[in-house]
Amino acid sequence: MHFILLAIIFIAVIFGPQMWAKRTFARYSKNIANMPGTGGELARHLLDRFDMTDVKLETTERGDHYDPSTKTVRLSPANFQGRSLTAISVAAHEVGHAIQHKQNSPLLKTRTRLVMLANAAERFGSLFMIAIPFITAATRAPSTGLVMFVVGFISIGLAVLVHLITLPVELDASFNKALPVLKEGNYIQAPHEAAVRRILKAAAYTYVAQSLAGILNLARWIAVLRRRG
């Protein structure tokens, strides 16, 4: 009974933030008739307004994000073409990252380095996990497998940690950049402010959802290795 309860709690912790973020985006994804422009149009307008004409704007199927390495704001087709609260809020959030970049934000610089480290660490850790049974069999030394397991565990765990500690960057993009811009520029009406705040919070916590998914990946590897052990 206790195991079932713990399993339910674990699943809720892992998938709860992702489900909440997706539900929030979906809740406010309906187009509004009197919305003056699409998410893509707002993003381009804001980039030009803040003298970031060199920042490109593209659509992507890989999720809304700002790529500092190519100075590109990428929006999903729904948010690029949509005239919903979700579309304009997410567009403003990603432009918020471009503003951070223009201002040489230490937070964004650190996040960019850490994300690169996290991606490399996760790939490195996964390769280590895959190689464990083969190297252990070849060396016939169980201690070798143990060492590799620890290294792989730390590598994947580091990727999870990095996603969690980048949250301040996301919150800054949402509430210190995007929200003031939307309010002061009268891009949103007062009755919509509460909804926009919810959407911006969901956008900021997307990285937390990714980190929790990383924990699930780590748990999956542990289960695989236990079956092989």
pLDDT for 154 equals 72
Confidence of residue 93 (pLDDT cuts 50, 70, 90): very high
pLDDT for 6 equals 60
Distances (CA, A) of 54 to 38, 73, 97, 130: 20, 11, 14, 43
The reported pTM is 0.78
pLDDT for 166 equals 79
pLDDT for 17 equals 72
Contact assessment for residue 194 and residue 153, using Cβ atoms and an 8 Å cutoff: no
The pLDDT tens digits for 3-26 are: 676 666 656 666 677 788 899 999
Active-site residue, from 41, 61, 94, 184: 94
Q: Give the lowest-confidence range in 44-48, 84-88, 203-207, 224-228.
A: 224-228
- What residue ranges do the domains of the chain occupy? 2-228
CB atoms within 10 A of CB 219: 12
Q: Give the lowest-confidence range in 38-47, 73-82, 104-113, 126-135.
A: 126-135
Helices of type H across the chain: 2-27, 39-49, 77-81, 85-102, 106-139, 142-165, 167-171, 179-184, 193-204, 206-228
Q: What is the DSSP string of 17-70?
A: HHHHHHHHHHHT-S--TT--S-HHHHHHHHHHHTT-TTSEEEE-SS-SEEETTT
Catalytic residue check, 193: no
Contact assessment for residue 145 and residue 115, using Cβ atoms and an 8 Å cutoff: no
Average pLDDT over residues 171-175: 95
